[in-house]
Amino acid sequence: MELTSSAGSEFVTRSDLESLLAAVESRSADRNAGIFGPDSVTWRINRESALFLGAGRAALLQLAHPWVAAALAEHSNLLSDPIRRFHGTFRVVFTMVFGSLHQALAAARSLHTLHVRIRGELIEDVAGWHRGTNYEANEIAGLRWVYATLVESAVLAYECALGPLDQEAREQYYQESRTFASLFGIPADALPSGWNSFAAYNQEMRASSVLGVSQGARAMAHSLLAGSETKPQWIKPPHWYRALTTEWLPERFRAEFELPFDAPEQRAAERARRRLPGIYRRLPRVVRFTGPWREAQARIVGRCPGKLTQWSNRFWIGQPMLPFA
């Protein structure tokens, strides 16, 4: 894959974003149901708490992009407060997926505004990038990689718990995800056309010099997998989760992140994959289905979300209701 210099990069302007959002709005049949709605594969996948299984993998693959890692190191609270970072990511994603049309568009605008302020320089040579290279968070190629890690990891996590999607569902999910990408400011012509070309893009990226693990990225990855030491311990990843996350990374990045994957980790990952489907299917609905999906279900029928939904939301997004209502 050819490496683009910062000088040759393309960036999302506010007018670019507004054009994409206008197109999304014109295609939305039910403003209350939001961008996707209850019949979408996107809701079917993202309602599952199994999504959490892929969160660590997605985060580490994002950190493998030096621009993303530098932005997180210099402009986020990832090292000092990984729980808040977890909440912030899922708050944006779930509002785009499960919010009303108004909420989804507001989340997209808010994210773009946040990204406008995130810029800087790389402080070390990493992979094909040189120290001093300028980065900006609204750069299309970087946004595309972040989007791709979210989409691919969600499918991997869903299939780990519930079995493989058929080809039709997988393709529909990817086509729906192209609308999700619009909310990031990524134009359709910057995306692969279908699932197979999307899979090829991911494989090419993972083998390329566009990605590489910096010292800062390695420290953040180990912090994420260690969990919080000062905040509530409910998000501290257990050994099997760390092992499964490591197994799902390409071997290249296991080495670059310096993550152990010896016999104990391999056994833990294998046991998790074997046992999770049976355990997961027996979970009560209040645990299995995420609070934001439950909130969307209530909104569609004109009800306020109940206490259990608000409790679930606090776990996933750090607050009782989706924002921008």
Q: What is the pLDDT of residue 4?
A: 42
CA distance 248 to 59: 12
Domains of the chain: which residue ranges?
Answer: 10-282
321: its two tokens: 């209701």
Q: pLDDT averaged over the chain?
A: 93
Summarised one tens digit per residue, pLDDT across range 255-300 is 999 999 999 999 999 999 999 999 999 999 999 999 999 999 999 9
Using CA atoms, how far residue 221 sits from 4, 78, 289, in Å, is 25, 10, 27
293 and 50 Cβ atoms separated by less than 8 Å: no
What DSSP state is assigned to residue 87? H
pLDDT band at 169 (very low <50, low <70, confident <90, very high): very high
Distance of CA 289 to the CA centre of its chain: 18
Report the run of H or E that residue 71 belongs to, with start and end: helix 66-75
CA distance 160 to 277: 7
CA distance 244 to 55: 11
CA distance 181 to 187: 8
pLDDT band at 223 (very low <50, low <70, confident <90, very high): confident
CA distance 320 to 119: 32
pLDDT band at 207 (very low <50, low <70, confident <90, very high): very high
pLDDT band at 5 (very low <50, low <70, confident <90, very high): very low
CA distance 70 to 136: 10
Q: Where are the alpha helices (DSSP H) in 163-250?
A: 167-184, 195-206, 215-226, 239-247
Summarised one tens digit per residue, pLDDT across range 88-102 is 999 999 999 999 999
